[in-house]
């Protein structure tokens, strides 16, 4: 009797059950009224009195074990089935999946690029890790200019001739070297400056710079191009004003303000009650720059301008803290979905 129980126990341990049919077969063989365990109970009456307690215990524990295995097998088969159903039921409603949105900086960059594309400016790109010549020297930065100082520029330790570009004017220097005029190009891209991060400044930001070189390009052309841009970007009512400024690579140089699109020029806290918002730097390309890049400065003139994409995005979307553009906080970014 004990041997019989041990053998059945072994059989149970060795079993593996994968299908519903096998499970039913198992139930019939072991657990049903005519099954092997029930027949042990029938044999039990023939066991001697002394052995009864032990054998009784063995049969009961075998029965429990068989019932437990049955339950486990059943559970496994059911969950397998459910997985299959997941794979196969193509009629189930689609689960909502969250689509990403374009980053506000990309939206504004694309909008700026589109506006200039429409009047014939083509995109040019260049390296973010640049040499001194294209960031500074070609652009007429005197050797001792403060922008070359470690304060503003990330230099590469091993080679003082290599730095992260501080503006995308470096791309324009490359274009001028390689393309005979007429040139009409814009260079969008990421730039780097060694600045403390605050609500208004970051060590990484984005620019779109433009360059136009041809015969007889004048300051009036620059002004009209920028007026067109301002109206396209901020609305037909927008006015511009140019204030004298200084950049090593342009002469004369100016900074451009647009009339505040929030208060319409009346004065509000966005424009600090001046009615104007500063958005870009510009000027006529310094003849030295043309010469440095192999263009005949007697024959050709040009204008250039450059703007920060974050600055425009802050004005457009009323974002008060520049750092939000870099944090990838979904709650912030989600507000721009649908703004394609």
Which one of residues 281, 292, 313, 315 is an interface residue with ligand PHE (CB under 6 A)?
A: 281
Helix (H) or strand (E) holding 184: strand 183-192
- By beta-carbon proximity to ligand PHE, the closer residue of 169 and 292 is 169
Give the helix ranges, DSSP H, for 130-218: 132-135, 169-178
Write out the binding residues for ligand PHE, residues 190-209 only, by CB under 6 A: 209
Write out the binding residues for ligand PHE, residues 218-257 only, by CB under 6 A: 247, 250
- By beta-carbon proximity to ligand PHE, the closer residue of 30 and 247 is 247
Strands (E), 35-158: 122-123, 129-131, 155-156
- Residue 189 found at the interface with ligand PHE (CB under 6 A): no
User: Total residues contacting ligand PHE (rule CB under 6 A)?
Assistant: 11
Are residues 181 and 214 in contact, defined by beta-carbon separation less than 8 angstroms?
A: yes
Which residue matches tokens 């059950």?
17
Q: How many Cβ atoms sit within 10 Å of the Cβ of residue 339?
A: 10
Cα(145)–Cα(225) distance, integer angstroms: 30
Cα(165)–Cα(310) distance, integer angstroms: 17
The distance of closest approach from Cβ of residue 282 to ligand PHE in the complex, given in angstroms and rounded to an integer, is 5
Cα(156)–Cα(164) distance, integer angstroms: 8
With H, G, I as helix, E, B as strand and everything else as coil, classify residue 331: helix
- By beta-carbon proximity to ligand PHE, the closer residue of 212 and 234 is 212
Output the six-digit token pair for 10.
């072994």
Contacts of 230 (CB under 8 A, 6+ apart): 238, 239, 240, 256, 258, 279
- By beta-carbon proximity to ligand PHE, the closer residue of 171 and 271 is 171
- By beta-carbon proximity to ligand PHE, the closer residue of 26 and 286 is 286
Q: Kindly list the distances between the CA atom of residue 275 and the CA atoms of 66, 232, 268, in Å, as whole numbers in the listed order.
A: 86, 19, 7
- Residue 140 found at the interface with ligand PHE (CB under 6 A): no
Are residues 99 and 337 in contact, defined by beta-carbon separation less than 8 angstroms?
A: yes
- By beta-carbon proximity to ligand PHE, the closer residue of 55 and 284 is 284
- Residue 185 found at the interface with ligand PHE (CB under 6 A): no
- By beta-carbon proximity to ligand PHE, the closer residue of 234 and 247 is 247
- Residue 181 found at the interface with ligand PHE (CB under 6 A): no
- By beta-carbon proximity to ligand PHE, the closer residue of 59 and 277 is 277
Write out the binding residues for ligand PHE, residues 48-67 only, by CB under 6 A: none
The distance of closest approach from Cβ of residue 288 to ligand PHE in the complex, given in angstroms and rounded to an integer, is 14
Are residues 229 and 115 in contact, defined by beta-carbon separation less than 8 angstroms?
A: yes
Contact region with ligand PHE (CB under 6 A), list: 83-91, 173-181, 275-283, 325-333: 275-283
Write out the binding residues for ligand PHE, residues 282-311 only, by CB under 6 A: 282-283, 304-306
The distance of closest approach from Cβ of residue 99 to ligand PHE in the complex, given in angstroms and rounded to an integer, is 35
- Binding residues for ligand PHE (CB under 6 A): 167, 169, 209, 247, 250, 281-283, 304-306
């Amino acid at each position: 009797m004990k041997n019989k129980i041990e053998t059945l126990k072994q059989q149970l341990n060795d079993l593996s059950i994968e299908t519903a049919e096998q499970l039913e077969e198992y139930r019939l063989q072991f657990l049903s009224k005519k099954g092997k365990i029930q027949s042990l109970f029938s044999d039990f009456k023939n066991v001697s009195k002394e052995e009864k307690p032990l054998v009784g215990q063995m049969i009961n524990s075998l029965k429990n074990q068989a019932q437990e295995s049955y339950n486990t097998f059943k559970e496994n088969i059911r969950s397998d089935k459910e997985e299959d159903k997941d794979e196969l039921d193509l009629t189930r409603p689609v689960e909502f999946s969250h689509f990403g949105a374009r980053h506000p900086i990309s939206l504004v960059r694309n909008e700026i690029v589109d506006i200039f594309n429409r009047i014939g400016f083509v995109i040019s790109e260049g390296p973010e890790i640049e040499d001194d010549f294209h960031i500074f020297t070609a652009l007429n930065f005197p050797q001792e200019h403060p922008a070359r100082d470690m304060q503003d520029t990330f230099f590469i330790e091993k080679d003082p001739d290599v730095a992260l570009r501080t503006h995308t004017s470096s791309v324009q220097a490359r274009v001028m070297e390689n393309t005979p005029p007429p040139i009409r190009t814009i260079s969008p891209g990421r730039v780097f400056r060694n600045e403390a991060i605050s609500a208004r400044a970051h060590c990484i930001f984005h620019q779109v710079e433009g360059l136009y070189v041809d015969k007889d390009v004048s300051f009036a052309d620059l002004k009209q191009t920028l007026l067109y841009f301002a109206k396209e970007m901020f609305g037909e009512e927008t006015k511009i004003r140019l204030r004298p400024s200084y950049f090593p690579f342009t002469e004369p140089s100016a900074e451009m303000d647009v009339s505040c699109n929030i208060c319409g020029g009346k004065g509000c806290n966005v424009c600090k009650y001046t009615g104007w918002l500063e958005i870009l730097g510009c000027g006529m390309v310094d003849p030295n720059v043309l010469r440095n890049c192999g263009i005949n400065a007697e024959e050709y003139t040009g204008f250039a301008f450059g703007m920060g994409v974050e600055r425009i995005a802050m004005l457009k979307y009323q974002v008060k803290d520049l750092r939000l553009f870099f944090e990838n906080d979904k709650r912030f970014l989600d507000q721009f979905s649908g703004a394609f």
